[in-house]
Amino acid sequence: MTKEIPVGTLKQTIAYYYLLSYCPPENIADFKKSVAALRKNLAKQAGMKVGDYFKQAIPQVCRRIVSFNEATREPSPVFVDSLTKAARQAEKNPEKAAAFQAEMSKVARLKSRALPENRLHRKKGCAFCRLPCHYGYFTLVSDPDFKELKRLMEIEAARPKEQRSPLRPVWSFTFSHLGRALEADKVFIHRVHAGNLAYCLLMLSMAKSRLPLPEEQIRIFQAANQALIRSG
């Protein structure tokens, strides 16, 4: 008999699989060790053993991910099944992690969400994102605390002008947010994903604040952001 998974727990699990998809495959064993407490906590919230929880949760997670990227309540069973099979194996070894990440990339490229006019923040920066929509759903389900981003930006603004960096508070916020989402002290994420996720989080914070961000400022920030990604 299956148990109903609490909505908040399922959201955390969706975020977990997104973060697994951002992890360099060669670090997957370390990633799994770092999130052991989170995995136990998710299962506990649902009143299940860890193995039983993920067996039940993975199909629901994958259905919701595909549903978001297809922008429909009735996602394609083919995409859902393919992603589910990959997700069940993703933590076993680097090859399986890479296979899962490849499936996530396919889903991110589904035109229903990947087309510029269908992006979450299509009028607030998505046009300047360098990748298909790998991040929009994660930013929604992971409940970022943008008060913390505001605090970091205020600290940055108080620095002498020659020492200020518009990227530093956004990247710092991104890593602290990931640590909270994983309930872990160490985050394993590919630099490309870290930088592009930072940009997506900034766009979501601007959308929620309802403050207009001039297009030229977005272009300048994103150009500097991409340069920082490439420098790593």
pLDDT of residue 185: 84
pLDDT band at 83 (very low <50, low <70, confident <90, very high): very high
pLDDT score of 203 more than 60 = yes
**What's the CA gap between 106 and 67, in Å, rounded?**
13
pLDDT of residue 39: 96
The mean-pLDDT minimum among 6-10, 115-119, 201-205 falls in: 115-119
pLDDT score of 121 more than 70 = no
- Asked if 101 contacts 25 with a C-beta cutoff of 8 angstroms, the reply is yes
pLDDT score of 122 more than 60 = no
pLDDT score of 72 more than 90 = no
Q: What is the pLDDT of residues 22-56, one digit of tens each?
A: 999 999 999 999 999 999 999 999 999 999 999 99
The mean-pLDDT minimum among 64-68, 125-129, 131-135, 213-217 falls in: 125-129
pTM (2 d.p.)? 0.91
User: What does the pLDDT average to over 15-21?
Assistant: 97
User: What does the pLDDT average to over 61-78?
Assistant: 93
pLDDT band at 113 (very low <50, low <70, confident <90, very high): low
